[in-house]
Chains A and B, each alone.
Chain A
Amino acid sequence: MSLSAEREAITTEAAAEISGRWSSLAKELLATRRVVIGLAIILGLIAAAWIGPMLSPWGFGERDFTAFRSPPSADHWFGTGNTGRDIFHMTMVGLQKSILIGLCAALFTTVIAALVGAFAGYYLGITDRALMWVTDLFLVLPQFLILAILYPVLRDSGWLIFVLLLGCLMWMVTAKMVRGMTISLKEREYVLAARYMGVSHGRIILRHILPNMSSLLIVDATINVSSAIILETALSYFGFGIQPPDVTLGSLIAEGSRQALAFPWTFWFCTGLLIVLVLAVNLIGDGLRDALDPHSKSRT
């Protein structure tokens, strides 16, 4: 009887410590300073992007005919643009779109790349051929040609479709890398062990294969945030996605870069915000990679 009581004690005591995989990951992340700083910056940017326009005394389309291209002042915090629009207000609205597009497109791209690559590499054979054929197709087809074809259909759809479109243009190379890594990972003994204990193939991919290449995926996702924002600018230039008078960080940078030397405020504020945004994402990604890495020194 004493034995069972003892076992009970052990069970409850240890039970308190065995938290789930995700909650312990979150705990570890929040204990890392880099991650906290990165999160704070992102939250700050989000707050600024959505609350900022409300604080600004100027409206979005409103023009100040008394001040064209005027430098930052108490009236216009970030100065004004070519047509007298308030740059602070425009930048904040642009930031809204860019945060949405950048984060969502990056996440979407990485998820697509990971799934396609992992399934192709794990199953090989016909699945692999089909998926890699699609990947190669996306790689070789001229992207702007596809866009030109899709343009009439997509021109009036919302930003979500635009995010999907961006994602479709960026996932291929990562998918190929993931496929290669999967082929080597699937021969590992822990994958065999999982298979021999009856774990389904899908679960093996999600629980064993993808987490073990998380470093690659996280680095990929963080890089994709900035490239999605830049690519969006290029697409907008060709008339997709966000159209004037609507703005994004990308379109603001494109416009400001032409006069960066003469009227630096039209360029530096939006560029600075983009850098801060990407930096914050990198900080979080870095911390996440360390938290997921079983060999990192921070664990004790």
Chain B
Amino acid sequence: MTATSGTAAEQEQTGAAPEGGEARPPVLEVRDLEVSFPGGRGNADVTAVRGVSYEVRRGEILGIVGESGSGKSVSSLAAIGLLPDYARVRGSIRLHGEELLGLDDRTMAGKRGRAISMVFQDPLSGLTPVYTVGDQVAEAVRVHNPKTSRAEAQKRAAELLTLVGIPDAERRRRAFPHEFSGGMRQRVMIAIAIANDPDVIICDEPTTALDVTIQAQILEVLKAAQRETGAAIVMITHDLGVVAGLVDRVQVMYAGRLVETGSVDDVYYRTRMPYTMGLLGSVPRLDRDGKTPLIPIKGNPPSLTDMPPGCPFAPRCPIATSECDAGEPPLEQVGGAGHSAACIRASEIEANAWTARDVYPVGEIAENPVAQLPREDRGTVLRVEDLAKHHPLMRGALFKRRVGTVYAVDGISFDIREGETLGLVGESGCGKSSTLMEILSLDAPQQGGVEVLGKHSGKVSTRERMDVRRDVQVVFQDPMSSLDPRMRVFEIIAEPLRTHGYSKERIRSRVLELMELVGLDTAAVTRAPAEFSGGQRQRIGIARALALEPKLLVLDEPVSALDVSIQAGVVNLLEELKARLGLSYLFVAHDLSVVRHIADRVAVMYLGKIVEIGDVQSIYRRPTHPYTKALLSAIPLPDPEKERRREHVVLQGDLPNPADPPSGCRFRTRCQKFAVLGEDERSACREREPELRNRVEGAADQAAACHYADTEAVL
């Protein structure tokens, strides 16, 4: 099953959920759920969920979408009874008409796993490391059916593992969790969740921690699990793409309340709540060309301890009026049946048919004059030639001996010109970060060369090296750990300036200038980073990187830890800075839609090698390498229609061990093209490593490393 059609699943669903769905009683029914946590030590109580109602019927998939802190996880934890004892829960949660709230933990434990089960976000910590995965699945079976014999439970475990797509389950059930990759572990978690044919499966961001190719696999598994058990699924996510093709109904949560609910098509195409519009508009689109700025939602979600009296979204809403502050708008029906929104201007939005672009005014992003010159006429900022980074694998405690080599980066070449952004993409473990670290260390590489602004790394004096440091700066992925928590913002931004010998007065004015440049309040320089939100912290990180007026900014997944609405603001800022300051970016990301939005050229990495490189239009419109195609195909689009029509290429298995890469073409073990080749054609893939060169007619700037590159469309 390399390619699975979305339509099959769709038919299945329509069969399972007939139009007269109202006739059937809901499996899980939540009414006016309120959850609050008492604030300790004189702090105000935190009300995480404020009056949420929903219901799911058999065979239905409900999506709950919201940013971090919107209360989506807390509401589902309440449903399964896993909130801490001190949480105060009010309202009603009924499973098959039976009230769950107020049940004691023993009774609840009897239902958990049998009638209602959960798949958690982090597959790494979801399994006990000291038991085999087979034992853990078997335990889930036996705990609810004590009469099952050990052997029967083991047999059932193997069946379940096969069902969730673990090859050779009979043998692999004896493996320990650490022997499984993240995606495989998530499959085991799903196997545990469906072990007792539950009626409701709650999935809390099941794919957030995984790569896109693995995400596509897991979504397929979830669909299969749903077909198999006929359960209702509640899918909690922040990714509007994931839910678009998967769910029947969507609920959008904001500040602990539902702000818009309805069928997928209603919510995506006939959006009536400005927040949902913002969310949809802030997602970079893989299926759209052109450099239109994303729609950021300004500000931050309100603190759950002291909520403004009116609409909680009003402070961030561009069309808020004074009436919005008067009282919280109720969730009322708008337009079609089952579609409701909590906005007093919903009818106005409907009457005028406003879209996100009408509601959220966005500026144009100017282009830097340098970027208009042809590429060949611009200076080279960074040139990487045949760069390699191999880590020795050592064994033994006293006498260490080398037992192998990890080929983290294995001979890659690219260059970045002035005012250009190169996106470096690939799954985790493909060597993206190792490449960055090699470039940034400015040491002589093990093999090949790195040339920054004409200076070869490792061949310059200490003084010159310091000068190169000025020109190359870095922004890290995690804004939590990239700023020293003990320093205040002023010192953080001033540090590079101090290091490079700026005078005190100069530092002071420069820091304030930088704060303004990245859109932060200059008065905030005396605060500690812990007092800022994720997006603001990333802005501080950018300000620090820009302090020395670098020519090249290396961005290591700068937006992947941020919520989409915040991410859009940071992406826009990066684009604006690039135009204003004439920067060049090396943008590393696993999110191909962000890269399409920001990059001029793209390089796709797989197992330490670049498999395809070229300008962004060619790569996205006409990818030629099978891996690029698979990556593009795996990304869900936030567009239900298109998503249902698409055929996803689902790659098999995981990234091979980088210490023992396959012979010939490294991608052949997972390649969808290799799978359909004839035996004699395959021998080329096995024996000869394809070189990176132009493979298609008429493409000026596109090279792929595949013997059988073609331009067959995927999107």
Query: B482 touches which one: A10, A19, A190 (CB < 8 A)?
Result: A190
Q: Of A171-179, A216-224, A292-300, which stretch is located at the interface? A: A292-300
Please give, as numbers and ranges, the residues of chain B lying within 8 Å of A292 by CB-CB distance.
486
Q: Indicate the member of A198, A207, A297, A299 with the most B CB atoms within 10 Å.
A: A198
Tell me whether A15 and B528 are in contact in the complex, defined as CB-CB below 8 angstroms, given that A196-B474, A197-B495 are known contacts: no
Contact residues of A between 243 and 300, Cβ < 8 Å to B? 292, 294-295, 297, 299
Cα separation A38 to B491 with both chains bound (whole Å): 30
Cα separation A199 to B487 with both chains bound (whole Å): 15
Closest to B515 in A: A14
Closest to B440 in A: A196
Say whether A18 faces chain B, with CB atoms less than 8 Å apart: yes
Say whether B508 faces chain A, with CB atoms less than 8 Å apart: yes
Say whether A129 faces chain B, with CB atoms less than 8 Å apart: no
Please give, as numbers and ranges, the residues of chain B lying within 8 Å of A189 by CB-CB distance.
476-478, 481-482
Flag if A197 contacts B473 (CB, 8 Å). Answer: yes
Please give, as numbers and ranges, the residues of chain B lying within 8 Å of A211 by CB-CB distance.
484, 486-487
Residues of A in contact with B, size category: 20 to 34
Say whether B403 faces chain A, with CB atoms less than 8 Å apart: no
Residues of B in contact with A, size category: 35 or more
Shortest distance between the CB of A40 and any CB in chain B (Å)? 26
Flag if B528 contacts A294 (CB, 8 Å). Answer: yes
Q: Of B338-346, B421-429, B519-527, B599-607, which stretch is located at the interface? A: B519-527
Tell me whether A188 and B528 are in contact in the complex, defined as CB-CB below 8 angstroms, given that A21-B488, A294-B486 are known contacts: no
Main secondary structure of the interface of B (DSSP, over half): helix
Contact mask for chain A residues 32-74; partner B; CB cutoff 8 A; 1 contact, 0 none: 0000000000000000000000000000000000000000000
Please give, as numbers and ranges, the residues of chain B lying within 8 Å of A200 by CB-CB distance.
499
Main secondary structure of the interface of A (DSSP, over half): helix
Query: B466 touches which one: A17, A192, A193, A198 (CB < 8 A)?
Result: A198
Flag if A194 contacts B530 (CB, 8 Å). Answer: no
Flag if A198 contacts B500 (CB, 8 Å). Answer: yes
Say whether B49 faces chain A, with CB atoms less than 8 Å apart: no
Contact mask for chain A residues 1-25; partner B; CB cutoff 8 A; 1 contact, 0 none: 0000001001100110111010010
Flag if B490 contacts A18 (CB, 8 Å). Answer: yes
Shortest distance between the CB of A56 and any CB in chain B (Å)? 46
Tell me whether A208 and B474 are in contact in the complex, defined as CB-CB below 8 angstroms, given that A10-B522, A294-B530 are known contacts: no
Cα separation A188 to B478 with both chains bound (whole Å): 10
Say whether A135 faces chain B, with CB atoms less than 8 Å apart: no
Closest to A199 in B: B499
Say whether B574 faces chain A, with CB atoms less than 8 Å apart: no
Cα separation A199 to B496 with both chains bound (whole Å): 7
Query: A193 touches which one: B465, B474, B500 (CB < 8 A)?
Result: B474
Contact mask for chain A residues 204-247; partner B; CB cutoff 8 A; 1 contact, 0 none: 00011001101000000000000000000000000000000000
Please give, as numbers and ranges, the residues of chain A lying within 8 Å of B482 by CB-CB distance.
189-190, 193
Closest to A198 in B: B469
Tell me whether A190 and B481 are in contact in the complex, defined as CB-CB below 8 angstroms, given that A199-B495, A292-B486, A294-B530 are known contacts: yes
Can you sample 26 A-B contacts with CB below 8 Å? Answer: A14-B522, A15-B508, A18-B525, A188-B481, A189-B478, A189-B481, A189-B482, A190-B482, A190-B484, A192-B474, A192-B476, A193-B474, A194-B484, A196-B440, A196-B474, A197-B499, A198-B465, A198-B466, A199-B495, A199-B496, A200-B499, A211-B486, A211-B487, A294-B529, A295-B485, A299-B531
Given A21-B491, A190-B483, A190-B484, 11 other A-B residues pairs in contact with their CB atoms under 8 A: A10-B522, A14-B508, A188-B481, A193-B482, A196-B473, A197-B495, A197-B496, A199-B496, A294-B530, A295-B530, A299-B531
Task: Report the 6 A-B pairs with minimum CB-CB distance, sorted nearest first.
Answer: A198-B469, A189-B482, A197-B496, A189-B476, A190-B484, A294-B485
Partner-B contacts on A (CB < 8 A) = 7, 10-11, 14-15, 17-19, 21, 24, 188-190, 192-194, 196-200, 203, 207-208, 211-212, 214, 292, 294-295, 297, 299
